[in-house]
Amino acid sequence: MLIEAACLDPENITKCIIYGEFICNACYDYSERDILGDWKVFGATMEVKKDNIETLVKLAEAGFAVPKRTNNPNHVKIYPNEKFSELARNANMDVPDSKGTNESLAKIIERNKDDMKRGLIEGLVITIYQEKDGSRLIKWKGAQEYQPHAHTKFLKANDLVQNSGAHEDVKKAFHEVSEVITDTSENELVKKIETKKANHGNPEEKKKTKGKYLSNIDKDIILLGIPHSQKKFDSIEVYQKRGEKALEEYRETLIHEVKEHLAKEKNDFEGIDDETTVAFITSKVKSTIKTQLEESDTNRAN
């Protein structure tokens, strides 16, 4: 269908991969919304034999969101937009709900601010078009994710924007996002996170230590980053059924994901292999999995 829609040469295409969000964990209110196990499609990647410029041009002319060039001349990326979503639905694939089309990000934020404040939007996948480079993709975490460094930097940026000569729509958008970050009174997911944080100490009383020691806020990012990272994988019961080898691979993969999560939150990719950091993450990941396995065994016994 994609080949027909853009009048592409089928002989030039060696592979086409459709990607999306597989909702495989019982997180948020997925069960209540009856979407647990769903696969929400929002893009595709094709591999082509010849230089990809001609393919990119044809896709763009057909209405698809694509970049004007890519790092790999044999790869073609297709980002989400109305044209792609329509094609996916016609192929009996499920797509995410659209929060806005052909309008500014400021308008999308304004219209969805209340849902964002209540934690009803886990995240956004945004396709942005620029004349020079074509389309590109941005993923935006929801406010219920624990990302203290990002929040702190954004609030500082908001102060700068509000005191600058920026366009009023830009100022309004920054102000509304700052409200989403600071006003969590209606966000039940954030309240749950705050309860978890309280069990590990108050991050406001963190000690700014240097060297091999982890600050309390670093530890909070790691501890809350474990369940966050687990959302990317099947439930622990799946790996338990596959045996000890599968569980060990899961542990190592989860440790890597939590390290990446810490690095992204701190915007520091050099310190994640520090001996103390790795030891703390490894210990907490193993203890978390051990507890989850014990709970799983208990539930089966009951």
CA angle at residue 20 from 99 to 242, to 5 degrees?
Answer: 140
Query: In whole angstroms, how large is the CA radius of gyration of the chain?
Result: 22
Residue whose token pair is 């997180």: 27
User: CB of 265 within 8 A of CB of 150?
Assistant: yes
H or E stretch at 174: helix 168-182
User: CB of 46 within 8 A of CB of 24?
Assistant: no
pLDDT of residue 228: 86
Burial bucket for residue 48 (CB in 10 Å: 0-12, 13-18, 19+):
buried
pLDDT in tens for each of the 302 residues of the chain?
889 999 999 999 999 999 888 776 665 666 677 777 788 899 999 999 987 899 999 999 999 999 998 888 899 999 999 999 999 999 999 998 888 888 888 998 899 888 888 888 878 888 999 999 999 998 887 766 667 778 888 889 999 999 999 999 999 999 999 888 888 788 777 777 667 666 655 444 444 434 456 788 888 889 888 988 888 888 888 898 999 999 999 999 999 999 988 888 887 777 677 888 888 899 899 989 988 998 888 877 76
Tokens for 11, please give them: 């002989």
Distance CA 254, CA 25 (A): 15
